[in-house]
Structure 1
Amino acid sequence: MSVRITIASIVEGYGEVTALPVLLRRITQDCGIWDAKIPEPHRIPRGKLIAQGGVENAVLQASRQVTGPGGVLVLFDADDDCPADYGPALLKRAQTARNDKEISVVLANREFEAWFLAAAASLAGHRGLADPLQPPSNPESIRDAKGWLTHQKIDGTSYKETIDQAPLAAVFDMAQARRNAASFDKFWRDVERLIR
């Protein structure tokens, strides 16, 4: 009998609480793992998470859910920080809390929704978005990806992360997002590492 893989997670936004499990299930299933345990993410505001002791305490809490293979994933928006600079420093802090667990820290370059922009063509017609839908030339350079999505809606509604993020996470083309968004490619590779 095999032991189920668990991916515990920590996020900053309310939308990611529902969207991240959808995305993790898609990736684990793409990797041939159909029964991964993906508990509801721990939501911790960014200021509290990056404060001294914040990511460490969050990882301690989340790691209690990982009793066998798997690990802890910390995901939040880079905003104006450089993911390549900021991420490794947070990972080092997180690893001091539980060096016996696999831990990953991923910063979505600018914001989670930049990953949707990287695969915008695959979202055409979904959640009130225009059809066809052309992606921006450099999706991770857009500071307000949520606003970009709102401007592409033709149904008169605004993009709302708590309503739209999980359904879009269920349908966007992940291969296209990997090609067009380096932070999504890193996210994918980190999840793959946690489940291997």
Structure 2
Amino acid sequence: MTEVKIAAIVEGHGECEAVPLLIRRIASIIDPGFVPTVLPPMRVPASRLRKQGEMERFVTLASRKLQGRGGILVLIDCDWQDGCPAHDGPALLERAKQARSDYPISVVLAKKEYEAWFLAAAVSLRGKRGLPANIDAPSDPEDIRDAKRWLAEKMPRGTSYSETADQAAFTAIFDMEVARRADSFDKCFRDISKMLRELKEDANAWTCPDQASLKPGDMQADGEPTH
């Protein structure tokens, strides 16, 4: 199968490590042997991407990094005043597609912040990285303003939640199916799954062309296509 590549645009240092893990975990659900190549993410503040012309510019840069086929994922926190993933997400996606409509593109806005997804699946993190063995998820994880602080307050005295150390570690182990009760993660999961399936099918098509459509001169002596 031809290599499947994803170029990601994220906000924080923690997401630079966590998002590739998240993509690969979802890929393994589609096919345990499916390991997409996630290029080193570009780190861009949401406040910048929301400015006119900036989303378009960075999506174009991401497409150049792919050097051909691949998908583009934009994943940012929707934590600005009056921010709403259901309203702001489609508008940002439209701008991204205007820049490169020839690539599969997904724009995911985590409601409030990425860590809200850990809160939604808090039970699956019991006893992990200093969290108590009896931790329960809050009733409305995406309504908590500071999910990082919520996690930090559950950790032992003298320790704290570290975005650069803990975000990727929790991403590797949190129960994604449980986390899908958070609407923004459910969309994230569905978007990434859809993109990966499309790219995988496209890669398979390029690896195994329909030989019935090839002309005799397109075949080598060993029966392999000449292109």
User: Under TM normalisation by the shorter chain, which class is it?
Assistant: over 0.9
SS of the residue aligned with 1:128? Answer: coil
The answer as to whether partners of 1:3 and 1:69 remain within 8 angstroms in 2 is no
Alignment match, 1:140: 142
Alignment match, 2:190: 189
Between Structure 1 and Structure 2, how many residues are aligned? 194
Alignment match, 2:11: 12
> Could you tell me the percent identity over the aligned residues?
52
Alignment match, 2:47: 47
The answer as to whether partners of 1:3 and 1:68 remain within 8 angstroms in 2 is no
Q: Could you tell me how far apart the structure 2 residues matched to 1:67 and 1:30 are?
A: 27
Match of 2:101 among 99, 105, 127: 99
Paired letter, 1:122: S
Q: Which moved more, 1:85-94 or 1:149-158?
A: 149-158
Q: Could you tell me how far apart the structure 2 residues matched to 1:106 and 1:35 are?
A: 21
Residues 70-106 of structure 1: CA distance to partner in whole angstroms, max 9, x if unpaired?
A: 4100000011411000000000000011010110100
The answer as to whether partners of 1:70 and 1:195 remain within 8 angstroms in 2 is no
Alignment match, 2:172: 170
SS of the residue aligned with 2:75? Answer: strand
Paired letter, 1:160: S
Q: Could you tell me how far apart the structure 2 residues matched to 1:139 and 1:120 are?
A: 10
TM-score normalized with structure 2 length? 0.82
Q: Summarize the alignment of residues 16-35 of structure 1 with structure 2, pairs less than 5 Å apart.
A: 16-32=15-31, 34-35=34-35
The answer as to whether partners of 1:118 and 1:181 remain within 8 angstroms in 2 is yes
| RMSD of aligned alpha carbons | 1.3
Q: Could you tell me how far apart the structure 2 residues matched to 1:153 and 1:70 are?
A: 39
- Aligned-residue offset at 1:7: 1.4
TM-score normalized with structure 1 length? 0.95
User: Larger Cα Rg: Structure 1 or Structure 2?
Assistant: 2
Q: Which moved more, 1:145-154 or 1:57-66?
A: 57-66
SS of the residue aligned with 1:126? Answer: coil
- Aligned-residue offset at 1:67: 4.5
SS of the residue aligned with 1:127? Answer: coil
Paired letter, 1:131: A
Q: Which runs of 5+ in 2 are unaligned?
A: 198-227
Q: Which runs of 5+ in 1 are unaligned?
A: none
- Aligned-residue offset at 1:172: 0.4
- Aligned-residue offset at 1:69: 4.8
- Aligned-residue offset at 1:3: 1.2
